Amino acid sequence: MGLCFLWLKQNLTDNLALKDYSHVSMNSSSLLLLAFFIPFLCFAQNQQKPTALKASVPNWLKIMDKNGDEKITLNEAAGLMKLNFNRVDGNNDGALDKNELTQLANRLRRNNQNRQNNNRSKMSTQDLLKNAPKDVVIEPDIAYRRGKSEAWKLDLVMPKVMSKKPRAAIVFVHGGGWRSGDKRAGYFMRGAIEYALKGYVCITVNYRLIHEAPMPASIEDVKCAVRWLRANAEKYNVDTKRIGAYGNSAGAHLVCMLGLVKAEANMEGDGPYQDQSSLVQAVCASATPTNFLLFDSQRKGQRTQPGELFAGSVETLEERARKASPSTYVAADAPPFLLVHGTADTTVNIKHGDTFHAALKKAGAKNLEYIRIEGDGHGVFHKSSKKTYPAMEKFFETHLR
């Protein structure tokens, strides 16, 4: 077994995005990612040129489906697939069918890709400051609250040239399925710099991911970050009545909550600056999960497991999911919204965008824009950037300046 794990370390590092296996925490994601590889390790160590095997339904069935019925029972399952059997068996029928195995394979691929993307996208503070444009000032890794979590930090980017009047501000919130991502990844830092060059004070925010704390921790954290910004408005010359927010995917969900959820909803958490409002005055959100009750009900049991989005009692899952959904809080006094969604989004179905936009209109909300792009998927905001980027710039210019 020791040789097996040595082979794993030497040959699968690129696929698993892990550096030092002696310190690996076997959380649910890493356990599931390894579930496919474990049964093969002792065979693979005897090969001179072992190749990393893909997590796929045909391979799982070939190895573990002993009776050829295209299902894997608990007795047939091997390695960590067996240990995590109940978690994968969404309908609790005692067998993993092709649908459940396909969902698992897709989830593992997404998680692995997220890790690889994050590793490529993260930027050190030294590189961030070194490569910053000369016309902006960056204050990195500001703690927006005290405590043990390393996630409670933000980067602030502002114009170097001083302004006599307070400036509008924009909060950037990264995506990543609430389980991965970083404030400096991809567009979230790049966008903060671009809008600072346009004259805005910008913050890009980290928050607790679900391996550290399940929902509503991420909501409470981004709300605390906005309260921090208002509490420090004089220091950074921010107009507290002109704060907007942009997010994509999970980040889009969170910025929608910043636009809609008032203090009386009891979603502020235990962070400081409770005398400040966490509401923003304009929201741009792309590929937005707007109603958790619209997701596949077969995943309900998985979402209640430790390390999952709504870890906790299954009896209260629906109530907690509804409380964390932006659609619950639509109202006539909603701030201006710019929503972007692709009709071919297989991660967050277009019905999230359609029903949310319709609900806002029905509630009497004003200043709604909905860019619905035929054929685009979950990366709609960047794939259709020739349309979406100017639309967001005009949106914030109109409603914040």
* CB < 8 Å & 24+ apart, contacts of 381-386: 381/187, 381/248, 381/286, 381/287, 381/340, 382/187, 383/342, 384/340, 384/342
pLDDT score at 40: 36
Q: Domain check: are 227 and 281 in the same one?
A: yes
pLDDT score at 4: 41
Q: Domain check: are 235 and 371 in the same one?
A: yes
pLDDT score at 301: 67
Q: Domain check: are 302 and 330 in the same one?
A: yes
Last residue of a domain, one of 72, 90, 121: 121
Give the pLDDT confidence of 271-301 residue by residue, as tens digits: 999 999 999 999 999 999 999 999 876 566 6
Q: Domain check: are 235 and 359 in the same one?
A: yes
Residues in the chain: 401
User: The tokens 């009709």 sit on which residue?
Assistant: 343
Q: Domain check: are 104 and 168 in the same one?
A: no
Q: Domain check: are 285 and 204 in the same one?
A: yes
pLDDT score at 106: 75
pLDDT score at 401: 85
Q: Domain check: are 146 and 72 in the same one?
A: no
- Answer yes or no: is pLDDT of 175 > 60: yes
Highest mean pLDDT among 59-63, 306-310, 312-316, 351-355: 351-355
pLDDT range class, residue 50, cuts 50, 70, 90: very low
- Report the candidate in 7, 34, 11 with the shortest Cα–Cα distance to residue 104: 34
At 58, list the tokens: 């045909």
pLDDT score at 307: 78
The answer to whether 370 touches 357, Cβ cutoff 8 Å, is yes
Cα–Cα distance, 196 to 14 (Å, whole number): 36
Q: Which residue has the higher pLDDT, 29 or 276?
A: 276
Q: Give me the CATH number covering residue 270.
A: 3.40.50.1820
Q: Domain check: are 244 and 355 in the same one?
A: yes
At 342, list the tokens: 């692709």
Cα–Cα distance, 296 to 366 (Å, whole number): 31
pLDDT range class, residue 264, cuts 50, 70, 90: very high
Q: Domain check: are 70 and 37 in the same one?
A: yes
- Answer yes or no: is pLDDT of 88 > 70: yes
Give the pLDDT confidence of 228-259 residue by residue, as tens digits: 999 999 999 999 999 999 999 999 999 999 99
pLDDT score at 114: 52
Q: Domain check: are 130 and 95 in the same one?
A: no
Last residue of a domain, one of 72, 97, 121: 121
pLDDT score at 300: 65
Q: Is 137 helix (H, G, I), strand (E, B) or coil?
A: strand
Q: What percent of the chain has pLDDT over 70?
A: 82
The count of domains in the chain is 2
What domain range is 376 assigned to? 125-400
Q: Region 260-265: what's the mean pLDDT? A: 98
- Answer yes or no: is pLDDT of 329 > 60: yes
pLDDT score at 120: 43
pLDDT score at 28: 42
Last residue of a domain, one of 71, 106, 121: 121
Q: What is the chain's mean pLDDT, rounded?
A: 85
pLDDT range class, residue 96, cuts 50, 70, 90: very high
pLDDT score at 22: 32
- Answer yes or no: is pLDDT of 52 > 50: no
- Answer yes or no: is pLDDT of 98 > 70: yes
Q: Which amino acid is at 291?
A: N
| Side-chain-facing half-sphere of 114: CA atoms under 13 Å | 20
Cα–Cα distance, 324 to 346 (Å, whole number): 21
- Answer yes or no: is pLDDT of 393 > 70: yes
pLDDT score at 13: 35
Q: Region 68-97: what's the mean pLDDT? A: 87
> Bridge partners of 283?
245, 337
Q: Domain check: are 146 and 106 in the same one?
A: no
Buried/exposed 190-201: b ≥16 CB within 10 Å, e otherwise: ebbbbbbeeebb
Cα–Cα distance, 8 to 26 (Å, whole number): 15
pTM: 0.73
